[in-house]
Amino acid sequence: MRRYSRITGTGSYLPPRRLTNADLVAELAAQGVETSDEWIVERTGIRARHFAAPGVYSSDLGAEAAKNALAAAGVDAKDIDLIIVATSTPDMVFPSTAAILQHKLGIAGCPVFDVQAVCSGFVYALTVADAMIQTGSASKALVIGAEVFSRILDFKDRTTCVLFGDGAGAVVLEASDTPGLLSSDLHADGKHVGILCVPGHVSGGKVLGDPLLKMDGQAVFKLAVGVLEDAARAALAKAGKTEADIDWLVPHQANIRIMQSTAKRLKLPMSKVVVTVDQHGNTSAASIPLALDSAVRAGQVKKGETLMLEGVGGGFTWGAVLLTL
Ligand code: UT7
- What is the rounded CA–CA span in Å between residue 196 and residue 208? 18
The count of structural domains within the chain is 2
Domain that holds residue 74: 4-176
Check pocket membership of 286 for ligand 1, CB cut-off 6 A.
no
Q: Domain check: are 318 and 195 in the same one?
A: yes
Q: Domain check: are 81 and 122 in the same one?
A: yes
Task: Return the ligand 1 atom nearest residue 159 CA.
Answer: 44
Q: Domain check: are 162 and 14 in the same one?
A: yes
pLDDT in tens, 172-184: 999 999 999 999 9
**Structure confidence at residue 318 (pLDDT):** 98
Q: Domain check: are 90 and 35 in the same one?
A: yes
CB 85 within 8 A of CB 97: yes
Q: Of 292, 207, 248, 253, nearest to 12 (Cα)?
A: 292
Catalytic residues: 119, 252, 282
- C-alpha 164 to ligand 1 mean position (Å): 13
Ligand 1 atom 35, closest CA: 159
- Number of other residues whose CB lies within 10 A of the CB of residue 175: 18
pLDDT in tens, 48-74: 999 999 999 999 999 999 999 999 999
- C-alpha 42 to ligand 1 mean position (Å): 10
pLDDT of 311 over the 90 cut = yes
Banded pLDDT at 266 (limits 50, 70, 90): very high
Q: End of a domain among 143, 176, 209?
A: 176
Q: Domain check: are 187 and 171 in the same one?
A: no
CB 320 within 8 A of CB 237: no
CB 289 within 8 A of CB 271: no
Q: Domain check: are 172 and 185 in the same one?
A: no
Ligand 1 atom 21, closest CA: 218
CATH number of the structural domain spanning residue 262? 3.40.47.10
Q: Domain check: are 89 and 195 in the same one?
A: no
Q: Choose one of 195, 216, 221 to mutate for the ligand 1 pocket test, by most ligand atoms within 8 angstroms of C-beta.
A: 221
**Structure confidence at residue 1 (pLDDT):** 81
> Where does residue 1 rank: exposed (0-12), middle (13-18), buried (19+ CB within 10 A)?
exposed
Q: End of a domain among 122, 152, 176?
A: 176
Q: Domain check: are 8 and 141 in the same one?
A: yes
Q: End of a domain among 132, 150, 176?
A: 176
Ligand 1 atom 17, closest CA: 217
- What is the rounded CA–CA span in Å between residue 37 and residue 188? 34
Rounded to two decimals, what is the model's pTM?
0.97
Angle at 271 between CA 250 and CA 123, to 5 degrees: 5
